[in-house]
Structure 1
Amino acid sequence: MKITQGARIAGLASAVVLLAGCTTGAPAATTSAASSGSAAAPTTTTLKLTVAAYPLEFLAQRIAGDSATVTNLTAPGAEPHDLELTAKQMADLGSSDALIYIAGFQAAVDDALKASPPKLAIDASTGLALLDPAAAEEGEAPKPGAHDPHIWLSPANMITMAKTVDTALSQAHPELATTLNANTDKLVADLKNLSEAYTSGLATCQRKDFVTSHAAFAYLARDYGLTQIPIAGIDATEEPTAARIAEVQKLAKQSGVTTIFFETLVSPAVAKSIAGDLGLKSAVLDPIEGITANSAGTNYLEVMQSNLKALQEANGCS
C-alpha cells in the first residue's frame, strides 16, 4: 500500500511522503551507524531513522553513517512478515525523522503509517520492477497489487534502493547531502562488487534449480538465471500443504538437486524432512530478514557472500 499524504518529493524518491509528526518519544532501541563502515566524517545533525526490517537497517546505517541513530521495528531474530507493533513503537514512529519501509511487506507498518505518520516516509521499493508472487502461492492468482517484497536479495535492487534513500534524505536534509552522497557511493561500489561476484560465481553451474524453505529468492533467481523451487510461499511462517510438499519432492527429483535449503529464522523441520526422504543434503540459504548469532556473517554483504558459496556448492558451479 502506497502512502499518499503530504507533498511528494521530486525525482527518484517519488514515493516518499512528507507527513507531520504529532507525537514525541525516543525509539525503544537504537543502533549506532558508526560501526557500519560509512566513509564520510560525522556532522552536527543527528537524524532519528526508523526502519521496518534488517535489510533497510543495513542501508540506513551505511548511508547515514554517524549522522543518524537507526531503530529497527523488527527485533533481532524475529520473523518480519508477522511484525506486530507495540503502543510505544507506534508513538515513537510519529517522532521519527524518517521511516524506511517496503510497501506491502509488513501490514503492521503500512497501517502504522496512517495511524502515526513520521515526518518522512520512504518506500524503498520505489522504481523497482516488482515480481508478482503467483508462482510462490501454489498456483493461486496473486491479489490485485500484490508483489514479492523480498527485493533486497537482488544486489541490483539494493543499489536502486540505496539511491532512493539517499535522494530522499538528502532533499529533506540538504545540510547532510555531502555526507549521505559520499556514503552511498561507497555502498553502491560494494553492491556492484557483490553483483559481479554472483554473476561470475554462478556462470558455469551444472544445475540451475534450487529448493528453498520459502519463496524469498525470486529476484536473485531472476538476476542470475536460476530457478527457485519454494516449499512455502511468500510468508516464511506459512505451513506448506501435503500436496505442495509432494510437488516439491517431485520437482527436486526431476531437477537433480543435491541440497534442500532451510533458513535461520524459522523451523528447518520441513526442509530437513524433505531432504531426509530424498536422501539429499540440507544447508542454509539465508533470506537475510534478520541477523542473529546463527547468521553466516555480521551484515548483509557477508551473508550474501555465504549464500553465494552455498549455491555454488549445491549446484556444482566451477
Structure 2
Amino acid sequence: MKYKRFFETFFLLAIILISTSLANETTAFGNDKTIAFTSVPPIAYFIERIGGHEVQVESLLGPNDDPHAFEPKPRQMVALSKARIYFSTNFPFETNILPKIKSSNPDLLVVDISSGAISMEDHDEKCQSSDPHIWTSPLVALKIADDVYRSLAIVSPEGVEVYRKNYQDLLKDIVALDEEIWNILKAVRGKKFLVFHPAWGHFASDYGLIQVPIEVEGKEPKGAQLVRLIEEARREGINVIFVSPQHSKKGAQAVAKAIGAQIIEIDPLSKDWADNLKAVAKIFFEGVINVPTKVSCL
C-alpha cells in the first residue's frame, strides 16, 4: 500500500508538472477546435475526414505500438483532460485508462464504436472471441463513420454542416473502396490465408476469405496445435504468412521454416486507412494465388 500510494503521488506530480509545461508553450490544440481522441490510428482517419478543420484529432497508439500491451504516456493523459470526445474501440488497455480519464475530465463524451465487432470463431479451436479490429471491414466502416458524424454533431453542433458534407463524401468513398476490393478478391473467395495475429477477421468476412491464425487466444500454438496448423498449411498449399509490424515475428518464422513459406508484413493499424486496405487486398490476392514477386518480404 505504501508503494502504491507513492506511485500515485508521483504520477499526480508528473501530471501537474506537464500541465504547467503545456500551459506555457504553444501546442497543436487550438482553443477554437474540438479536441477528439481515439485509441488507434485508423479511427483517427474517420474523425479527420468528417471533422475536417473543425476538429483536432489525436490517437493514443503510434504506428508501432502494440495495442495489447500499451500504456499511455503522462503527456497523453494531460491532453486527454482537455478533450471533448473520445472514440473507444474497446481494446483491453482502454478498460484501465477510461475511468482515470473520466475522473479528470467529467464532461468528456466517450463513444464506444466497437459495437460493429463480430464474434470470430478461432480456427480449429471452435471458441468465440471478439475481434476489435473492426475498421478492417469497409462494411463496418459505414457504421463507424455514422457514429463519428453523430457524435461530433453532439459535442460541437456549430460544425454540423461541415460534418454532414464530409460524412456524405466519406460514405461515397467507402462504398467505392468496397466495390474495388470486392473485384480484386473475387477470384480467391473461399481461400484460406495464414496470419500470425488474427487482426483480419472482419476483412475476411466481408470478402469471403478464411483467416487461419497462428496465435490461439493471444498465445503461440504448441504441440498438437502446431502440428495441425503446419499440416493444414501444407494441405492447403499456403506459402505465405502475414504478420503485423506491432508483433514479434519469431513464432511466424518458425512456422514459415516448417512449411517453406515467405513472411509478408501488413499493417492493421495504418492511419492511411483506404489506401492501406486496397494495398492489403492486392497483397492477399497475390499471396493466396501464388508466392508474390512484387512484395518486399522480411
Q: Same fold (TM over 0.5)?
A: yes
Q: String of CA shifts for 1:150-192, please: whole Å, max 9, x gaps.
A: 1111011111101111111112211100111111222222211
% identical equivalent positions: 24
Any runs of at least 4 consecutive aligned residues in structure 1 with deviations exceeding 6 A, and if so which? none
Pick the aligned partner of 2:169 from 186, 189, 204. Answer: 186
1: CA distance between counterparts of 2:136 and 2:48? 18
User: What residue is the counterpart of 1:255 in the other structure?
Assistant: 236
Distance 1:120 1:253, change over 3 A: same
1:196/1:82 CA distance change after superposition, 3 Å: same
Inter-partner Cα distance in structure 1 for 2:62 and 2:192: 32
Question: In the alignment, what sits opposite 1:64?
Answer: 51
Give the corresponding residue for 2:157.
Answer: 174
1:45–1:176 CA contact under 8 A, matched in 2? no
Kindly state the Cα deviation for residue 69 of structure 1 after the two structures are TM-superposed.
1.5
* Secondary structure in 1 matching 2:212: strand
Aligned equivalents of 2:87, 2:134: Cα separation in 1: 14
What SS does the corresponding residue of 1:214 show, helix, strand or coil? coil
Match of 1:139 in 2: 125
User: Where does residue 309 of structure 1 map in the other structure?
Assistant: 282
Cα distance in structure 2, aligned partners of 1:169 and 1:234: 35
User: Match of 1:295?
Assistant: none
Residue 111 of structure 1 corresponds to: 96
| Per-residue deviation, residues 205-253 of structure 1 (Å, max 9, x unmatched) | 2861000111111111111111110011464xx4343443322212212
Please tell me the residue identity of whatever aligns with 1:281.
Q
Per the TM alignment, residue 140 of structure 1 is displaced from its structure 2 partner at its CA by: 7.0
Structure 1 residues 112 and 280, CA, compared in 2 at 3 Å: closer, same or farther?
A: closer
Distance 2:236 2:189 in 1: 11
Aligned to 2:197: 214
Q: Which has the higher helix share?
A: 2
Is contact 2:89–2:114 with CA below 8 Å preserved after alignment? Answer: yes
Contact 1:207 1:316 in 2 (8 A): no
* Distance of aligned partners of 1:313 and 1:95 in 2 relative to their CA distance in 1, 3 Å threshold: same
Give 1:87 shift. 3.6
Query: Larger Cα Rg: Structure 1 or Structure 2?
Result: 2
**Which shifted more, 257-266 or 57-66?**
257-266
| Residue-by-residue CA offset, 1:122-160 (whole Å, 9 max, x unaligned) | 11123x2x3224516x72745xxx621111110111111
Distance 2:44 2:134 in 1: 14
Structure 1 residue corresponding to 2:114, chosen from 111, 125, 128: 125
C-alpha separation in 2, matches of 1:76 and 1:216: 15
Tell me if 1:200 matches 2:183.
yes
Distance change (3 Å), C-alpha of 1:45 and 1:181: farther
Matched residues in 2 for 1:154 and 1:122: separation?
A: 19
Q: CA RMSD in A?
A: 2.9
State how far apart, in whole Å, the 2-side matches of 1:135 and 1:264 are.
22
Offset at residue 259 of structure 1 (A)? 1.6
CA distance in 1, matches of 2:189, 2:143: 31
Conserved? CA contact 1:201–1:308, under 8 Å? yes
Residues 18-59 of structure 1: per-residue CA shift (max 9 Å, x gap): xxxxx99569xx879xxxxxxxxxxx9411111111111111
**Aligned residue in 2 for 1:78:** 65
Q: How many residues align?
A: 266
From 272, 281, 288, give the equivalent of 2:262.
Answer: 281
Shift of residue 275, structure 1, vs aligned partner: 2.2
Amino acid of the residue matched to residue 109 of structure 2?
L
Give, in whole Å, the separation in 1 of the partners of 2:244 and 2:64.
12
Contact 2:34 2:156 in 1 (8 A): no
Worse overlay, 268-277 or 94-103: 268-277
